[in-house]
Every structure is written in C-alpha cells, then in structure tokens.
Amino acid sequence: MIHPTAIIDPTARVPGSCSIGPYCIVGADVELGENCELMSHVVIHGPAKIGVGNRFFPFCAIGTEPQDLTYKGEKTRVEIGDHNVIREYVTINRGTAKGGGTTKIGSNTLLMAYSHIGHDSVIGDRAMLVNGATLAGHVTVEEWAVVGALCPVHQFVRIGAHSYIGGGTVITKDVLPFSKCVTPRHTQAYGLNAIGLERRGFSKERIHKIHHAFRVLLNSKLNTTQAVEKLHSEGDQGEDVAMLLRFIAEAERGIIK
C-alpha cells in the first residue's frame, strides 16, 4: 500500500493498513494509526502522533516548523485524533516550547482546502475550518464550531462550542459558544446558532434557555457584567448556560457582542 515514489523515514511507524500515495513524505518520529490514507504529495513531519482513519488530500503539509521567530528547533509535536478529513494545501504547524509544545487536532474534524492551523492551537472534535480559514498561534476552536471561509483569527482567541463564524469575518476577540458571528461593517454577534443546535439534537427546552441567556447578554441595555449577574441571579439555567457563563468569566480578550 506504499507507492514506490513515496519516502518513508526508517523511524516512522506506518501500519500495513495505511495507504501512502505517490510522492508522499513521512518524516522521522511520525506515528500513523490504522487505515490512514495519504493520497499524493502529502508531507508529514515529526514528531507527530496521528490516530486511525484519517484522510490527507494532496499537497497538505502537517507538522512543519512553527512560523514563530522565537522557534530555535526545539523538539515539539503535532497530535491528531481519529477520522479527520484534511483537504488540499492545509498547513498544520507543530507547537512551540513556550506554548506547551503541542498543536492538537481532535477527531471527526473537517479542515477544508488552504486552511491553516498555527502553532500551539487546539481544535475540538467535529469542528470545521472552511476554505482559507487562518488560525494564528495559540487559538482554541471548541467542539462543533465552524470557522467560515477566509476568516483570520487572532492569536490566543477562543472560538466557543457550536458557534458559527460567517465567511471573511476578522476575529480579534473570543466568540461566544452557540453564537453566530459575521462582519457586515464591524464584527458583532447576531444571536443564537439555533439551526445548528437543532441539527445536533438540542431539545427545544435547551435552545429556549440558551436563547433567553442571549437576549439578556445581547439585547438588553445591561453591560456584560450586569447581564452575567442577572443570569446568575435567576438560578440554575442548565448546563449550557452555565458553560456560556464560564466562557465569559474566562475571557481574556473580551467577547464579541
């Protein structure tokens, strides 16, 4: 299952169930899981640990050196989970020593063509990066979030779970879980990502509670601190609203409203 033009480093671990296509390069200290497919012209540098059932499309570059001027050749790594689809020309840089040393991709993600994941970033399960989405270093994208086409994301920003960012949106602050965010003239939140939540099996009751929290946060005349205090004063609003409030409390760059 290895094409004769492929180059596999002797230290790489490639199970017999993997398919390595023409002109692929699998570097030193790369560990592939079972049933991975490298179509053609795929480059994977190590150290890298990659789970099972991942598909790498032509010309993607995985585990290359971080684009960080302070990087001096430290032995950092990339970790990728299971059943991810990594499309053409995707670039994933490994971590830096100062950032923890590891860039992490979860499982069942879709990374579309030309998207970039910078050093020390963390991508949650079932997240999606649409064509040309660009993550600077130290970015966190939580589970089920969608980063739209051609979106640049500032370093150290968090993209909350189940959120949706419209194409071409410049992200410089944390994006609230469950929210829709797009740039017409300036970046702002446009309420709840209700359709996405329905597709993922959220009950009407769960969505209603999240919607109420968004109305208090975004549509009242209260500032963020006052809105959070009001929601806390209303008692237990469920796990989703509690996660939303924790997300706001931990924001270091502010939130998009």
Tell me the CA end-to-end span of the chain in Å, nearest whole number: 51
Active site annotation includes 120: yes
Would you state the structure tokens that stand for residue 12, as one six-digit string? 């790489």
Q: Which amino acid is at 225?
A: T
Report the run of H or E that residue 196 belongs to, with start and end: helix 194-199
For 26, how many CA atoms within 13 A lie in the half-sphere containing its CB? 30
d(CA 106, CA 108): 7
Do 48 and 62 form a contact (C-beta atoms < 8 A)? yes
**Residue of 27, 137, 160, 166 marked catalytic:** 137
d(CA 187, CA 241): 23
Active site annotation includes 196: no
d(CA 43, CA 26): 6
**Residue of 120, 160, 162, 174 marked catalytic:** 120
Would you state the structure tokens that stand for residue 222, as one six-digit string? 């209260």
As a whole number of Å, the CA-based R_g of the chain is 20
Would you state the structure tokens that stand for residue 119, as one six-digit string? 């050093």
d(CA 253, CA 25): 39
**Residue of 41, 45, 119, 162 marked catalytic:** 119
Peptide bond into 47 cis (omega under 30): yes
Q: Which of 214, 199, 210, 201 is nearest to 238 (CA)?
A: 210
Catalytic amino acids?
119-120, 137
